[in-house]
Every structure is written in structure tokens, then in C-alpha cells.
């Protein structure tokens, strides 16, 4: 687990040094995607969500879904002017 996380971070670091060669949009998306992946792994394994009763994990997931909804709304406002 730890190795995966470190590996992911290493990828990010290297990506940054190559930053000039990748289109900016893809660059940001990949980075954020990697960050999201790491976050999920930490939550599932370090915070033990994978092993917790279903009720607790659904709790967290529902919250995250709603949070994403809000972020989308804000994005629309920022970019669709």
C-alpha cells in the first residue's frame, strides 16, 4: 500500500518536470485523478473503510457524491459566463 502511494507521488513529481510537453488540461486532470486515487486508497486501507460495516462506508460515499454535485455547480458558474 505504502509503495503504491509513494509510486503515485513519484509519478506526479515526474509529470511536473515534463509539464511543458503535455497539454495543460490533461496535465491537471491526470494530477487530480492521481490525487483522488491516492485519497481513496488511504481512506479504504489506512482509514480502514474497506473493512468497516457497509453503513459507514455508504455514509462517506453519499457525502462525497453530494460534494461532487456542489463542485460541478460551482464550476458551471465559474466557467459558463
Partner 1 sequence: MAAQSDHMSQDIFPPRVRRWLFTTNHKEVGILYLVTALFFFVAAGLLALTMRTQLSVPDNNVLNEGLYNQFVTVHGLLMIFWVLSPFAFGFANYIIPLQIGARDLAFPRLNAMSYWFYLFSGVAIIMSFIFGAPDLGWTLYSPQTAFQFTPTIGLNVGAAALILITVSITMSSVNFLVTMFKMRAPGMKLRNVPVFPWAILVTIFMMLYAFPSFLAAVLLLYVDRAFGTFYFSSIQGGALLWDNVFWFFGHPEVYIVLFPAIGLIADVIPTFTRRPLYGSKYVIGSMIAAAVISFIVWGHHMFVTGIGLTSTKLYTVTTIAVSLPFDVMVIAMIETLIKARIKLKAAALFALGAIALFVIGGITGVYLASVALDHALRGTYFVVAHFHYIMVGGSIMGLIAGLYYWFPKITGRMYNETVAKIHFVVSFIGFNILYFPMFLLLDMPRRIQTYAPDTGWGPLNSLATLGGFIFGGAQVLLFLNLFLSQRRGPPSGPNPWDGWTLEWSLPSPVPAHDFDTIPTIAEDGTYRFGNGSNYPNGSAHLEHSKVGNGLSYSHLEGMSPWPIVMAFAAFLFFLGLSIGQPTSPNPVSFKPFWPLIADGAILGVISLYGYSREKFSVHEESRVESWPFREVPNVKLGIWTFLGAEVIFFGVLIGAYFFVRTNSATWPGVGELFSIRNGFAMTLVLLTSSLTAIMALASAKIGSRNGLIAGLLATFGLGASFLYIKATEWIELGTHGVFNVANGLPATSYFITTGTHGVHVVAGMCMTVYLLVNTVRGRYIKGDYHAIEHFGLYWHFVDIVWVFLFPLFYLI
When asked if residue 69 is in the footprint of partner 1 (CB under 8 A), the reply is yes
When asked if residue 51 is in the footprint of partner 1 (CB under 8 A), the reply is no
- Tally of CA atoms within 13 A in the half-sphere of 63 that contains its CB: 6
Q: How distant is the alpha carbon of residue 42 from its chain centre?
A: 11
- Pair 27, 15: CB distance under 8 Å: yes
User: Which positions touch partner 1 (CB under 8 A)?
Assistant: 2, 5-6, 9, 12-13, 15-17, 19, 27-28, 31-32, 34-35, 38-39, 42-43, 46-48, 52-53, 55-56, 59-60, 63-64, 66-67, 69-71, 73-74, 76-81
Amino acid at each position: 500500500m505504502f509503495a503504491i502511494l509513494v509510486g503515485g507521488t513519484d509519478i506526479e513529481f515526474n509529470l511536473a518536470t515534463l509539464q511543458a510537453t503535455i497539454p495543460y488540461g490533461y496535465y491537471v486532470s491526470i494530477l487530480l485523478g492521481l490525487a483522488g486515487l491516492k485519497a481513496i486508497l488511504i481512506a479504504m486501507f489506512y482509514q480502514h473503510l474497506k473493512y468497516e460495516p457497509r453503513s459507514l462506508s455508504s455514509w462517506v460515499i453519499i457525502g462525497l457524491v453530494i460534494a461532487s454535485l456542489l463542485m460541478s455547480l460551482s464550476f458551471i458558474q465559474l466557467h459558463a459566463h
